[in-house]
Structure 1
Amino acid sequence: MFYDVFVFLVIILTLLILSGLVSASEVSLFSLPSETLERFSKSKIRTHKLIAKILEHPQRLLITILISNNFINVGIALLSTLSALRLSYAININPEYAVSISIIVVTVLVLLF
Structure 2
Amino acid sequence: MADDVEAVAERVFTAIADPSRRAVLAALAAHGPATVTELADRLPITRQAVAKHLALLTEAGLVAAGPPEGRRVRYGLRSAPMQVAQRFLASLARDWDGRLQALQDHLTREAEDR
The structure that is helix-richer by fraction is 1
Q: TM-score range by the shorter chain?
A: 0.3 to 0.5
Q: If you compute each CA radius of gyration, which structure gives the higher value, 1 or 2?
A: 2
Please give the TM-score of this superposition, normalised by the length of structure 2: 0.41
Please identify which structure carries the higher strand content: 2
